[in-house]
Structure 1
Amino acid sequence: MKRKDIDYSLYLVTARHLLPPNKAFLESLEEAIVGGVTIVQLREKDVDSREFLEQAELCKTVCEKHGVSLIINDRVDVAVAIGADGVHLGQTDMKVAQARMMLPEGSIIGVSCNTVEHVRAAVLDDVDYIGIGSIWGTQTKKLTNPVIGVRGVGPMLEALDGTNIKAIAIGGVKSTNLLRTLYGAVSATNHKLDGIAVVSDIIASKEPLNAAKALKTILSGFQSRGITSMPTRSLTPEILLDGVSHLMEEIRKKVPLVHQITNTVVQTQSANVTLAIGASPIMATEPTEMEDLARFCGSVLINIGTMRADVVESMILAGRAANKFHKPIVLDPVGVGATSFRKNSVKVLLDEWQVGVIKGNAGELAALAGTSEVKSRGVDSVGLGFSDPVAFVRNLARRERCTVVLTGSTDYISDGVCVVGLKNGNEVLGKITGAGCILGSCIASFCAISAQLSESSEAGHLVQGDMFIAAITGVLVLTVAADIAMEKPEVCGPGTFLPGLIDVLWSLTPAQLRGAAKISVL
């Protein structure tokens, strides 16, 4: 049977107990629909059947007036009694087959899903849509299942590949995290959400029309940009080096400010390297400063090398603010596989905000990807590395929807489609403390100038600028400078290498880099 053509994009779930004082339920509902709500689910958990029926009849009148579908939560009998468009069922409610027998032909049936197994069962039941959640923590209902997080949605969407079943994200979704939800909740196969379900952001608002409009604006902006598609590129080393040269020239003209929450062991080195390549560093961890800094900084570097529990809050706030003001975030998950604290903290960070670049060695990125192919010891990788680093870095970039930098004897960089291999860099880099940390500073600096050169600040925009070219630039600038520094007669080991490296970074020209760069498109 052909499915109804329903717009699930802005799905309102009612909760009368959240209404602000002196705001009538039907007044709020109608304002929300006028503001952009496309489908309504009536949820009444604590009322008797008569009151539920009365509310359902009233809701149906408002929805029909505006041509919006009405779904009844849990109660198939109520849906049948008032002629609603369909029902939404939880995992412990009536089975789909039983509901379908009771409902009129063509009725909509949606099911809540918290695991891939739930989704597969829903596919077998041939439901019309699934509600995936909870995406974020929520106060609107008592959760019986764990929060899955934005990045947990992808595998569930992938289970819908080849079907016509729609997918809606639910649980704590609001205007402040909507872009993160839309951008991050996409599968590796590019299967994306069909809508988002909202409760308190609209129902608890004194101005539900404006609240719905704000959400609709973000949705429309996101959809119009086509940002859920991975980039398409036709690249050669020459084209890439043109982009690298341009960023190297512009960074010294504009001197972007780079906010760095980084390894305290190497803060001075990181600051000096940032200055040497043409940017300006600021090292700040006070939580109350994070939003103000994000307004005028060009990018944010989050390095967990000396992470403490009290700094995680600042990292979360810094990332949220960066996303809010369309500033790129570079994440350096130093030693992420070493402890459960680091693993759990990085999971929280990546669920909270959309990163622009993730940089790490093989052990760190293996831990992040959840593969045991490469082991780590503290901050170091152990073993020979990935059997297919090109596929690994591409797949991780596609999964996290960002640029990924895999460091090693060959540095691999991918945006999820293209992969570039870079072979510069003297081995002495690995003999100084914080070589990876200063690389993070270089990448973040060029991400900042790339973002500054981008003029886009649309509602559907989350990570501004070309992070792929910026990451390539950051890696090449540092590694080419390392090669040149080691050729200087005054540099004879790690102790004299760092000052020599900073001097070369200060004077490195695009022409020098182009002549020395060992770059290939893989």
Structure 2
Amino acid sequence: MLKIDYALMFVTDDSIKDDNKFFIILKEALKGGATIIQLREKTVDTLTFCQRALRCKELCDAYKVPLLINDRLDIALAIGADGVHIGQSDMPYHIARRLLGDNKIIGLSVSNIEQALQLNAKSADYIGISPIFSTNTKTTDLAKPLGISGLKEIRKLYTKPIVCIGGINKKNAQEIIVNGADGIAVISAVSKADNPKEATKELKRILCKTGTN
């Protein structure tokens, strides 16, 4: 299993359809210090997803940063990604693990304490608390934000890495780490920033100051 730094996960913004802009932002996030990338595409066809994934893999390899694919095991297998991130209604964990093998990363989204205590979560390499705060980036099927109190409860019960996503920015990132998370995952805090590289660097400085790296 790869040694993974979960401190700063950049989740790509699938609302950006222009490839040139998409990959400029991704490269800037990598330059700024993102420690892991998750490619998330909810609306494109398989060919487009695969083409983006291949280019993402080339970039991530160049910066020696792991690449995860959101939901799509077939894409992850096709391009040799470092793993997948799956949700509660996606491919069951035990099937994903059988298909990917023991040397790939599998992360699982959880939205409440009960899900964090299930066998799937305990077996996963990390869990993603989603959402930690309210967010406008992902507008469908969102659970009620768990907040810092929910994070603290899960941290007491869950021993593997925890990554939080949802409404995270430079103002609240430190609070998340101080209260038990191993990392943060951001979309719009980087993708919609005037300067994605500097936005990533600023988040990284906050995390380093807090003690994740």
Does the residue aligned with 2:127 lie in a helix, a strand or coil? strand
State the alpha-carbon separation in 2 of the partners of residues 12 and 22 from structure 1: 17
* 2:145 match: 147
| Structure-1 residue corresponding to 2:185 | 197
Residue 179 in structure 1 maps to residue 185 in structure 2: no
Letter in 2 for 1:85: D
Aligned to 1:121: 118
Larger Rg: 1
Deviation at 1:152, TM superposition (A): 1.4
1:248-275 deviation digits (Å, cap 9, x = unpaired): xxxxxxxxxxxxxxxxxxxxxxxxxxxx
- The letter for the 2-side match of 1:179 is Q
- Cα distance change on mapping 1:160 and 1:7 into 2, 3 Å: same
Partners of 1:108 and 1:29 in 2: how far apart? 20
Q: Alpha carbons of 1:179 and 1:117: their partners in 2 closer, same or farther (altered >3 Å)?
A: same
**1:67 counterpart residue number:** 64
Asked if the contact 1:168/1:196 (under 8 Å) is kept, the reply is: yes
Ranges in structure 1 where 5+ consecutive residues have no aligned partner? 187-191, 227-522
- Written as runs of structure 1 = structure 2, the 5 A alignment for 1:74-223 is 74-122=71-119, 125-142=122-139, 143-161=141-159, 165-183=160-178, 186=179, 192-223=180-211
Cα deviations by residue, 1:192-240 (Å, 9 ceiling, x for unpaired): 211100110101123111000010111111118x9xxxxxxxxxxxxxx
SS at match of 1:109: strand
Residues 122-148 of structure 1 deviation map (CA, whole Å, 9 limit, x = unaligned): 566511000012111111112431111
Q: Which aligned segments of 4 or more residues in structure 1 are displaced greater than 3 angstroms?
A: 122-125
Shift of 1:23: 6.3
Letter in 1 for 2:186: V
Find out whether 1:56 has 2:61 as its counterpart: no
Cα distance in 2, alignment partners of residues 4 and 166 from structure 1: 14
Letter in 1 for 2:98: M
1:310-366 deviations in whole A, cap 9, x for unaligned?
Answer: xxxxxxxxxxxxxxxxxxxxxxxxxxxxxxxxxxxxxxxxxxxxxxxxxxxxxxxxx
Deviation (angstroms), 1:110:
0.3
In structure 2, C-alpha distance between the alignment counterparts of 1:42 and 1:23, rounded to whole Å = 16
Answer yes or no: is the 8 Å Cα contact 2:115–2:121 preserved in 1: no
**Structure possessing the higher relative contact order (Cα contacts under 8 Å, 6 or more residues apart):** 2
Q: Deviations over 1:51-92 (max 9, x none)?
A: 000010010000000000000000011100111000001000
Distance apart, 1:156 and its partner CA: 1.0
Q: 2:33, 2:73 → 1: CA distance?
A: 27
Whether the aligned pair in 2 keeps the contact of 1:114 and 1:134 (CA below 8 Å) is yes
Letter in 1 for 2:107: G
8 Å CA contact 2:134–2:145 kept in 1: the answer is yes
Query: What do residues 97-117 of structure 1 show as CA deviations (whole Å, max 9, x unaligned)?
Result: 011111143010000011111
Q: Conserved in 2, the CA contact under 8 Å of 1:136 and 1:171?
A: yes
What SS does the corresponding residue of 2:74 show, helix, strand or coil? helix
Q: CA deviation at 1:159?
A: 1.6
- TM-aligned CA deviation for residue 178 of structure 1: 1.4
Alpha-carbon separation, structure 1, partners of 2:210 and 2:122: 31
Deviations 1:21-52 (A, max 9, x none): 99611111111111010000000000011100
SS in structure 2 at match of 1:25: helix
Structure 1 or 2: more helix by fraction: 1
Specify the SS of the correspondent of 2:184.
strand
Counterpart residue type for residue 155 of structure 2: L
8 Å contact kept, 1:111–1:122: no
Contact 1:80-1:104 at 8 Å conserved across structures: no
Q: Structure 1 CA distance, aligned partners of 2:85 and 2:165?
A: 13
Partner AA of 2:73 in structure 1? V
Q: How many percent of aligned residue pairs carry the same amino acid? A: 39
CA gap of 1:56–1:214, structure 2 versus 1, over 3 A, is same
2:10 match: 12
RMSD: 2.0
Gaps of 5+ in 2: none
Distance 1:122 1:87 in 2: 18
CA distance in 1, matches of 2:109, 2:129: 6
Amino acid across the alignment from 2:142: T
Distance 1:124 1:24 in 2: 35
